[in-house]
Amino acid sequence: MSATTPFGEFDLIGRIRARAAMRSDVVLGIGDDAAILRLPANRELVVAMDTLNAGVHFPADAHAADIGWKALAVNLSDLAAMGAEPAWCTLSLSLPDANSGWIDAFLDGFDALAHLHGVALVGGDTTRGPLSISVTAHGFVQPGRAMRRSGASAGDDVWVTGTLGDAAAALALRGIGTHAQLPRLGRVDASGDAAARAVLETRLARPAPRIDISRELAVFATACIDISDGLLADLGHVSLASAVEMSIDADALPASRSLVAWFDAGARRDLQLSGGDDYELAFTAPPSARDAVCAIADANGTELARIGRVTQGSGVRVVDSRGEAIAVTGHGYQHFA
């Protein structure tokens, strides 16, 4: 920005700087023309960038603290998908006006997640414009150890962390998005249903990137991706990059209790296969790693479900537990589609 600024840019940067966490490998953080960072010996640097736009990635009335959390979470999820240990991030903010209350709340969410994973905010940019947030996240892997989309081979199992479809279910219950018309079982007047709905809302607003478990999985996984656009869409990327077919057992897809409380089996399947925003990890690993993968799940208290197999061919097919193909109508989210 120019030296004369009409909207308190430097006040905002000052607020951000005052709260930014430090790390000993940050030689110079926010405040100069660029940050200076000390790279650890014998590590590769892994870099990811994702943008959240108002009205596209979050509803215009979303809480600032949730937006702050999610802006970092989606980037840490990309690092998790690579098996990287997060270290630093930068933050580009486009704001309609300089609202210190908004920025403080935004930082409450952003900093809470940064603190959880020991990530230092080391720089960024602040401009006026439509509400939009871009974050880059930087992390480390041992040379050659990052999980890519391209490593799956025929014979591997397909696994997924956590449960699927919860974030999309929250949107559907609000009557937003591609799943808005799905029939629902729950009623908001029943307190159990309301509690279940709150769980779904939290999955949407505050996704938890699978940072911790991913580095352990990287030892065994042949390919990995984080599920941002929907299971089928994201497995499609792995299938393409690895030049294999993936066969997914619809009956093996993990569902949360909250999802079960609100949607019947048919609606759940739609949400699990094509609902975005869960930020779980889908990965492939050889059958010889099954015991090790289950041990990692137990040690971390994380649900891990084996949902299919990698075969020769191309694309992603969905089958039921008898192996019969299921026609799938839903698709993952695609910009410009």
237's CB contacts (< 8 A; 6+ apart) are 149, 225
Based on the shown chain and the rule CB under 6 A, indicate whether residue 139 belongs to the binding site for ligand ADP. no
Residues 93-132 that bind ligand ADP (CB under 6 A): 93, 121, 123-126
Task: Spell 221-233 as b/e; 16+ CB within 10 A means b.
Answer: bbbbbbbbbbbbb
Residue 97: name its binding partner from ligand ADP, Mg ion, none (Cβ under 5 to 8 Å by kind). none
The structure tokens listed for 109 are: 């969410």
Strand 315-319 relative to strand 245-249: parallel, antiparallel, unpaired? parallel
Task: Determine the Cα–Cα distance for residues 263 and 180; give it in Å rounded to an integer.
Answer: 12
At 320, the amino acid letter reads: D
Minimum distance from residue 107 beta carbon to ligand ADP (Å): 9
DSSP-assigned states of every residue in 264-282: -HHHHHHHHHH------EE
Residues 17-46 that bind Mg ion (CB under 5 A): 33
301's CB contacts (< 8 A; 6+ apart) are none
At 312, the amino acid letter reads: Q
Residue 126: name its binding partner from Mg ion, ligand ADP, none (Cβ under 5 to 8 Å by kind). ligand ADP
Minimum distance from residue 88 beta carbon to ligand ADP (Å): 11
Residue 91: name its binding partner from ligand ADP, Mg ion, none (Cβ under 5 to 8 Å by kind). ligand ADP
Strand 315-319 relative to strand 281-285: parallel, antiparallel, unpaired? unpaired
Based on the shown chain and the rule CB under 6 A, indicate whether residue 1 belongs to the binding site for ligand ADP. yes
Q: Which stretch binds ligand ADP (CB under 6 A): 30-38, 108-116, 166-174, 182-190?
A: 30-38
Which residue from 4, 18, 32, 143 is in contact with ligand ADP, where contact means CB under 6 A? 32
Comparison of 54 and 240: residue with beta carbon closer to ligand ADP: 54
At 223, the amino acid letter reads: A
Based on the shown chain and the rule CB under 6 A, indicate whether residue 30 belongs to the binding site for ligand ADP. yes
Binding footprint of Mg ion on the chain (CB under 5 A): 33
Binding site for ligand ADP (CB under 6 A): 1, 13, 16, 30-33, 91, 93, 121, 123-126
